[in-house]
């Protein structure tokens, strides 16, 4: 019985080491980008404080903005372009989880090809703001 327990524990340890190595390699090579939830932020919709959460990519090229003030949360993918303010895309039915970290791979990103969802993306040092296609003004400060 002890031999079986040791064998299972050894196999589980080896699998864990493999997964950690694979994630580290994928992150180092740029195949995976980690989105970290900002710990302190204020989200407003049309100037009124609202519920939601923000995840910023570790490479600081994009952000997931989740608005949760309505019956169904909505996540927007904000992509920043050097020299421009960037683009606002829809994440469709995918909602960014409230987890502190989200790994997103380059082969199947959750918001890929969902289409434009807003305009006038303004990026400040510790803030973002944009207008949705429905005309709603969304802001976040951290």
**Averaged pLDDT, 13-23:** 78
C-beta of residue 141 within 8 angstroms of C-beta of residue 42:
yes
90 contacts: CB under 8 Å, gap ≥ 6: 76, 77, 111, 114, 115, 116, 117
Q: What is the pLDDT of residue 115?
A: 83
**Averaged pLDDT, 46-65:** 94
pTM over 0.85: no
Q: Report the distance separating Cα 134 and Cα 35, nearest Å.
A: 26
**HSE-up of residue 51 (Cα within 13 Å, Cβ side):** 8
Each residue's pLDDT tens digit, 29-42: 778 889 999 999 99
Q: Report the distance separating Cα 88 and Cα 105, nearest Å.
A: 19
- Is a pLDDT exceeding 70 seen at residue 27? no
């Amino acid at each position: 019985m002890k031999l079986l327990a040791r064998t299972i524990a050894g196999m589980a340890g080896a699998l864990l080491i493999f997964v950690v190595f694979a994630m580290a390699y994928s992150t180092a090579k740029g195949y995976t980008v980690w989105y970290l939830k900002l710990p302190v932020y204020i989200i407003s919709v049309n100037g009124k404080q609202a519920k939601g959460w923000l995840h910023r990519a570790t490479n600081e090229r994009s952000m997931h903005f989740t608005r949760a003030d309505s019956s169904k949360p909505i996540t927007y993918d904000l992509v920043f372009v050097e020299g421009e303010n960037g683009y606002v895309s829809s994440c469709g039915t995918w909602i960014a989880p409230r987890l502190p970290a989200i790994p997103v791979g380059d082969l199947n990103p959750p918001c890929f090809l969902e289409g434009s969802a807003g305009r006038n993306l303004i990026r400040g040092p510790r803030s973002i703001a944009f207008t949705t296609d429905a005309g709603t003004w969304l802001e976040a400060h951290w």
